[in-house]
Chains A and B, each alone.
Chain A
Amino acid sequence: MNPNLLAVPVALPLFAAALLLAVARWGGRRAITFQRLVAATTLTINLAAALGLTQHALSGHRIVLQMGGWQAPFGITLIADGLTGILLTLTGIVALAVLPFAIATIDLHRERMAFYPLFLLLVMGVNGAFLTGDLFNLYVFFEVLLMASFVLLTVGGQPAQTHSGIRYVVLNLLGSLVFLAAAGIAYGTLGTLNMAQMAERLESAPMAVRTLLAGMLLVAFGGKAALFPLFFWLPSSYHTPPPAVTALFGGLLTKVGVYTIFRSFTLFFPDLLSAWQPLFLGIAGATMLIGALGAMAQPTIRRVLSFHIISHVGFMLMGLGVALQGNGLGVGFGLAAAILYMAHHMLVKTGLILAGGAVEIDMGGDRLQSIGGLVGRRPLLALLFFLSAISLAGIPPFSGFISKLSLLEITLDTRHWTVAAVSVIASVLTLINVMRLWREAFWGTYEHPGRLRPWLLDAPVRRWLVLGPIAGLLLLSLGLGLFGERFFHMTTIAAQQVLDRDGYIAAVNPVNPESVAAPSSKEGSD
């Protein structure tokens, strides 16, 4: 297979966004239709490329692209294995599901303020972060997706958006600075920023360097992933932008942080994965519990769902914590379960935020106290919300069940009773939470607090642009649950690939700069 396909998920959204930015301010109705079409086409091609990559990667290969033909440590490496492929596919699905909802609900002002280019740039940053094999390049892609998310979060300039935007920008900027400092220290001590070569050289690096780097990366990525002590930027900002933006953020952003934690700790510090296991499991348990408990106290639908994101990140980290262990079950089972959980979470969470957003738009507000009785008015929306909610809570036959079950199985298998108990408690709390949402928003007498006549779900085409993606994501979740065995097999392959460090290093095959002997060869370049 042609490795140049690896560049498609990064280059295509970038060029499409550049094209759209050029025409963004023309502003007429036709220009906006054009933007929508270009965005939809781009995301479809992106998903197709991601599917192709995944299919190839899951047959046991790693696809490596050395940009510009420069040998590994000199140029930038893009590498895709099973985990990358799965996440790229999920990113494509989430983006493609949010786009129709955004087309139907985003207002004209935002569309004219370059909403679609920013959407594409966010997808590009996420894809790039999944694909890159270079630590500094990872920083750059992080900044790309953060810049896009900053603007998506604050465009519109409403007071609440501005307030939460400042908090979000400052905390993410601080995390990025920690990451950048870690990259500097890595270059100073290891002399390379290529991730494969870093992994090679970290084996013989002094313990102090390893611990320092691991700690700084954990703080930086943990901040992005909204892990326990660093999660507070998430619930204070995710409820302010339009629901389509929240769904996109909730589906994609924290998962980039989780992915980078997975990648860095399996590749750079596999020994710390067992040495720091109590730390990982402790953070995971605290994150799950805080997220679920925090959600209990929230007054609006989107705030509850934001706290659930935090809770679920804890589940994923729990899988990483037991990745290198296994008694009855094989080593890597935990990681496979965590990847399956990520897939489940990205699909269901996006769908549920979209459904909550539809409720919010239909009601003119999502404060739980002042809404109610939607089940008679909007039966289809109510059904979709209910099914998404029980999938999130982990009721069979949806995907939540199988992914939570496999995570629970491995933690019990490795005798981590406490964290297993905490995860069960967090699951029950999640169930209570989503049932609370259901009871407050859908049951009871019909209350409509907004000044507006509800219109969105009566509009002929928009109605399906809103409900279609939710139903689609729900069907995918159902498929993930019904064919769980097959998908778990896929994630097992991906987990084995992630844990196989030597294979990763051999695939990238970085050369030592000093050993590039021939005088005719190119000099070291940035």
Chain B
Amino acid sequence: MTQLILALTVGILFACGAYLVMRRGQIKLILGLGLLSHGVNLLLFGSGKLTLGEPPIFTDKKNFLVELATRQLADPLPQALILTAIVISFGITAFMIVLINRRHTITNSDVVQGELVPLLLEGDPFSGDSSTGQEENGFDWLAYEVDEIYERGQMGTFWARVSSDADESAALEREGYDQR
């Protein structure tokens, strides 16, 4: 019975996760990935045998082999695996949320559009002007350097990209990783 419930739960989690991942909304995407990873974790959990109230602790340390043969203990290994998997999926989910928040500030929309369509319409919000044709050249990854550093002619010497540390942090402040 427990096994059936577990299997059904895993199946429902997978189904809901797959459905949500295929929706257009970005929040739904995150929720769907969360449900999918929960489903996988639960599947890992079920891969050790399901036992009720049998912790993997030997009462008699000397004869643990006897105990291993007679009692059906819970398997600790899948739980360790799940712990690892939870940590990893937690990290990736956090990263995804930041990434999607970033995109939300760019596109002002929760809906996943086709490639670069909103950008071409609205221009690059980080460059300050939308008529530079940067997107057209597919060359926007250098936008920071382009405006701030190279054109001020500070590229003269090899190691000295910026004249001093103070200048550098001021440039960072102005550019800002966070636009708000």
Contacts and interface: CB of A to CB of B under 8 A. Distances in A.
Interface stretch (A239-247, A382-390, A392-400, A479-487): A239-247
B21 to A, nearest CB: 7
Nearest to A140: B84
Interface in B63-92: 63-65, 68, 76-78, 80-81, 84-85, 88, 91-92
Given A160-B119, A452-B146, A29 B44 contact: no
Contacts of B85: 139, 180
B125 A169 contact: no
Contact of B43 (A108, A184, A367): A184
Contacts of B180: none
Contacts of B102: 157, 162
Contacts, number: 179
Contacts of A28: 165, 168
A161 B119 CA distance: 12
Interface stretch (A48-56, A311-319, A433-441, A458-466): A458-466
Nearest to A516: B65
Q: How large is the interface on A (under 10, 10 to 19, 20 to 34, 35 or more residues)?
A: 35 or more
B175 to A, nearest CB: 7
23 contacts: A27-B165, A29-B159, A29-B165, A108-B161, A140-B84, A147-B91, A154-B99, A157-B102, A158-B141, A159-B103, A159-B124, A160-B119, A166-B96, A166-B103, A169-B92, A170-B33, A184-B47, A300-B138, A364-B137, A452-B151, A519-B62, A523-B58, A524-B77
Of B29, B78, B126, B138, the most chain A CB neighbours within 10 A belong to B138
Given A108-B149, A161-B141, A187-B47, A519 B63 contact: yes
Contacts of A360: 139
Given A29-B168, A107-B145, A461-B158, 16 more contacts: A27-B165, A29-B161, A108-B162, A147-B95, A154-B99, A157-B177, A163-B116, A166-B103, A169-B92, A170-B96, A180-B44, A300-B138, A367-B137, A367-B138, A523-B58, A526-B76
A33 B158 CA distance: 11
Contacts of B68: 514
Interface residues of B, number: 71
Nearest to B147: A451
Given A109-B172, A173-B92, A450 B139 contact: yes
Given A163-B103, A187-B77, A242-B142, A27 B168 contact: yes
Nearest to A165: B99
B114 to A, nearest CB: 10
Interface of A: 27-29, 33, 107-109, 112-113, 136, 139-140, 143, 147, 150-151, 154, 156-163, 165-166, 169-170, 173-174, 177, 180-181, 183-185, 187-188, 193, 236, 239-242, 299-300, 360-361, 364-367, 370, 449-452, 455, 459-462, 514, 517, 519, 523-524, 526
